[in-house]
Amino acid sequence: MVQLNTKIGSLELKNPVMTASGTFGYGTEYADFMDINRLGAIIVKGTTLNPRQGNPYPRMAETPSGMLNAVGLQNKGVDYFVDHIYPEVRKFQTNVIVNVSGSSIEDYAQCASIINTLDDIPAIELNISCPNVKQGGMAFGVKPESAAQVVSAVRKAYDKTLIVKLSPNVTDITEIARAVEGAGADSVSLINTMLGMAIDAERRRPILSTVTGGMSGPAVKPVALRMVWQVAKAVKIPVIGLGGICSATDAIEFLLAGASAIQIGTANFIDPSISEKVVDGIEDYLTRHGFNSVQEIIGALEVI
Amino acid sequence: MLVADNRMVAPSATLLTLQYPGELPDMVAGQFAELQVPSAKVLLRRPISIHAIDRSKSLVMFLIQIVGEGTQSLARLKAGDKVNALLPLGNGFSYRTTHVARPLLVGGGVGVAPLLFLGQELEAHGIRPTFLFGGRTENLILRKEEFRKYGDLFMTTEDGTAGEKGFVTNHSLLMDSEQFDRIYACGPTPMLKAIARWAMDHETACEVSLEHRMACGIGACLCCVEDTADKGNVCVCKEGPVFTIDKLKWFN
């Protein structure tokens, strides 16, 4: 029997498999397809202090081995989450983590402080890397100073596990990772989507209403893997890896690169039960290679 | 699900029949399936409306217009191949919950697909629908003989090769606006907007099925949204694909 459990700060996970924010709704959407409680955690969709309508349609473009989205953080706001969603998601027998976004430092801190009062939410993932909103989002996450500022403010308002989600749209992601570590983050998750665009040549127009959008899916995996490897060496806090993970093998690669846990995103759209299959696949891999625990493969990449 | 049959029914449309293992789940006309595409080049599933069902044989049929790599791959499937399908998804037309006696089913292009299932369902309720289909030319109006089994079929074509020349909203059938008590429509957005405008002007109840770009198909990714009067942006895959036109913000 191999040990699949892992830790993110003080947060205990029964296995390293999480679902990525924005790809798994509130978990309830997937209950028909799999057993949510088998996952290490689910990260529910981006929540902001005030309701947001998101961007106009079209918000999605399929690209080779990937997709672009420009949802723009559509959500009904944190109060709606507390009153209507939380009573449902707290019933899950897995960690429910809320992804928190904002357009000002005050918004982030206030939203985090409201979620801090919810007993059954053991962690938040701070989204300083959304490429699809005009204000806030990625603007905070592309400079070490502003990233540290927002994390410091949230740290004061939030006393449970604080994960910070990093943008790949930077020159040196390790700089940002170190800055948020210094500001009190318990963990970093990476990568958020890569800024991209798609054009409809026949109509001579962009496909997305916002022209540019966030790219995800298998196409971004090599970049994500490289960044996870770099960041895992640069910080002492645990790293959560994501970006194009579609199989247990993909997940293992991120663990080997130094991730203590992984998230599955776009692959949920293709196979709504993929995350459960990845849990099983990681266990098979560990057994096949004679490991007793998933901890033995975290950062175990052998570089000659 | 296993492919029972797959055959071209027009130069660029295939009729895919899948065998459901066991008894078919309850399905409402207007609902759709998310079909996994058997091609490494295609990442996302393709949302395809349910064209018809055969409950006695547990068959589900899809009328698929071939437009790109995804639909081409679906067209290449052979009997005996396996297809991963999520179904039934979405809400469907309201015929089970709202009264209808004289329905008009308006379709354009491959948008006629869900209207055959709707015709089957209406017939089972003892209602004979009228179909009004539009297309660029005669052979782009798909499966005419099948539709005629369930109701009268009227057509418009842009080149005049079948039915009346012009668009569906110009058809003489619509001269008598009292003839129909509800319109169900599926097709290209300009056609839907035209028929919705006609329905509004003539105070006729109207439901339209939208074909937005989708990723997940189950209301999780929030990609396929339509702006609505009462709820703002909602997922077409979950709250739709069928909307009564008074819910949409097309004309204000």
Cβ(A102)–Cβ(A48) below 8 Å: yes
B residues 176-235 lying closer than 8 A (beta carbon) to A? 212-227, 232-233
- Tell me the pLDDT of chain A averaged across its residues: 96
ipTM: 0.93
Nearest to B189 by CA among B145, B142, B236: B236
Active-site residues of A: which are they? Answer: 130
Cβ(B51)–Cβ(B15) below 8 Å: yes
> Look-up: residue for tokens 């429910």?
A96
- Tell me the pLDDT of chain B averaged across its residues: 96
Tens digits of residue pLDDT in B20-62: 999 999 999 999 999 999 999 999 999 999 999 999 999 999 9
As averages over each run of 10 residues, the pLDDT of chain A (304 residues) reads 94 98 96 97 96 96 97 96 97 98 94 98 94 74 95 98 97 98 98 97 97 97 98 98 98 98 98 98 98 98 89
Alpha carbon distance B55, B228 (integer Å) = 35
The whole-angstrom distance between A4's CA and the closest CA on chain B is 27
Q: How confident is the model at residue B178 (pLDDT cuts 50, 70, 90)?
A: confident
Q: Hey, what domains does chain A have and what are their CATH numbers?
A: 6-50+70-193+216-297 (3.20.20.70)
- To probe the interface with B, which of A24, A34, A62 has the most B CB atoms within 10 Å? A62
Alpha carbon distance B215, B221 (integer Å) = 7
Alpha carbon distance A137, A72 (integer Å) = 10
Two structure tokens written together for B215 = 């990723």
The whole-angstrom distance between A98's CA and the closest CA on chain B is 15
Alpha carbon distance A287, A292 (integer Å) = 7
Residue A150 CB partners (closer than 8 Å, separation 6+): A102, A105, A108, A126, A128, A140
Q: What residue of B is the nearest CA neighbor of A60?
A: B223
Two structure tokens written together for A222 = 């090599």
3 state DSSP class of A209:
coil
3 state DSSP class of B154:
strand
Q: Hey, what domains does chain B have and what are their CATH numbers?
A: 2-89 (2.40.30.10), 103-211 (3.40.50.80)
Cβ(A105)–Cβ(A149) below 8 Å: yes
Q: What residue of B is the nearest CA neighbor of A216?
A: B43
Q: What residue of B is the nearest CA neighbor of A26?
A: B220
- pLDDT at B163 exceeding the cut of 80: yes
What share of chain B in percent tops pLDDT 70?
100
pTM: 0.95
Strands B52-54 and B59-65: antiparallel
Alpha carbon distance B252, B249 (integer Å) = 6
The whole-angstrom distance between B204's CA and the closest CA on chain A is 28
Does A4 touch chain B if contact means CB atoms closer than 8 Å?
Answer: no
Report how far apart, in Å, the C-alpha atoms of B225 and of each of A28, A70, A106, B6 are: 19, 11, 29, 31
A residues 264-283 lying closer than 8 A (beta carbon) to B? 266, 268-272
Two structure tokens written together for A219 = 């196409």
CB contact under 8 A, A62 and B43: yes
